[in-house]
Structure 1
């Protein structure tokens, strides 16, 4: 991450222990700042009236509301807000509804902590992020190459130009870890594992200057 303002994060989950655990995790990450938390929809609305975070981690099953409906409401009021769904549900219906509601990512609660951290970093620079199992389900339904975000195409183009991870991180002003996450998402979405095959794919689809 750049040595600039921290990524401001808020948590919405009706389980205190879950919020405590996530807050403890994120507090150890340089460049992250947890600015508030809420146990439900009403508290979330009040929280955002005081201060709008960069990233909102949202549970689906809240006691006083539905997290997906709340996401849609908040996105209408705060279009620039990035919402990361953090849920135990991996059903395709939940993921599809989250996308329609305006969420920028979907991570399972049993995902490794590094995946949650990577998701926040990716959303903060305008990308999308999904847990590995979620990404695989998404890519089985739609043409895979069309699912790449503009930033993912940019990373793929740089790969085709021969740039390594450090060079891409400097060019894009993001961390090497975030570049690695983009590359992982690209491999999942295109179902291509070998770097050489990814470069070939980029060139065949006109994503290279050559």
Structure 2
């Protein structure tokens, strides 16, 4: 990836922000365009600096990172949020996902993983560190009803179909498929494709022979 990525840093500890800036400024196409020490400041900055991605802490004095993520997604829909936290429990990870975060990373992650997560999320993908995925795998599944269209798309996903192929078969846009994917992840609290497969198997919508993995 070599397209410029404009980054907003949100953490109430100046030393943490300084450390992140030091990691990021050595990469030519990553640009820190704003820093905020609390949620209200982050919301105000996001409306001005037109960042592509926000690195957001969970614990802050005026507004936690989950609520901030939700409000950022409402006010700046094109802004991707990557959570950078000390905590890897399932409640935080699931709540971040439901709020609209595209990734979850621990603060002790090596610089190489931080950069990989930023680039993955900036390109429109999702990135969850191994401990976040493990925490979600151990969490009890939610019993949230899906719409008929969500169920259709879930079955296509677990069979390994691409967004483009799903869109063609259902005669809908690729963007609509992507929206349904995000809805599925938020409703089910599932991060990985394996988690979606597990859910579909549990519901009896597919059998193990149809699982490509």
Distance 1:63 1:153, change over 3 A: farther
Q: After superposition, give the CA deviation of every residue in 1:88-124 in whole Å (9 maximum; x if it has no partner).
A: 0111000000011100000000111111111000001
In structure 1, the gaps of 5 or more residues are 155-187, 192-203
Equivalent position SS for 2:59: coil
Q: After superposition, give the CA deviation of every residue in 1:187-207 in whole Å (9 maximum; x if it has no partner).
A: x8549xxxxxxxxxxxx6579
Equivalent position SS for 2:105: strand
Q: After superposition, give the CA deviation of every residue in 1:27-55 in whole Å (9 maximum; x if it has no partner).
A: 01121111110000121122112122111
Instruction: Measure the CA separation in 1 of the matches of 2:61 and 2:11.
Output: 9
Instruction: Measure the CA separation in 2 of the matches of 1:18 and 1:7.
Output: 20
Distance 1:22 1:122, change over 3 A: same
What is the TM-score when the length of structure 1 is the normalising length?
0.67
Residue 111 of structure 2: aligned partner? 113
Q: Runs ≥4 in structure 1, deviation > 2 angstroms?
A: 136-142, 188-191, 204-207
Distance 1:205 1:94, change over 3 A: same
Deviation, structure 1 residue 138? 2.8
Q: How does 1:92-111 map to 2 (within 5 A)?
A: 92-111=90-109
What is the TM-score when the length of structure 2 is the normalising length?
0.66
Aligned residues between the structures? 159
Deviation, structure 1 residue 132? 1.2
Instruction: Measure the CA separation in 1 of the matches of 2:58 and 2:9.
Output: 12
Deviation, structure 1 residue 64? 1.5
Instruction: Measure the CA separation in 2 of the matches of 1:58 and 1:17.
Output: 15
Equivalent position SS for 1:127: coil
In structure 2, the gaps of 5 or more residues are 142-153, 163-191, 196-209
Does 2:10 align with 1:9? no
Aligned CA-pair RMSD: 3.1
The one of 16, 19, 39 equivalent to 1:18 is: 16
Q: How does 1:120-199 map to 2 (within 5 A)?
A: 120-140=118-138, 190=194
Equivalent position SS for 2:91: helix
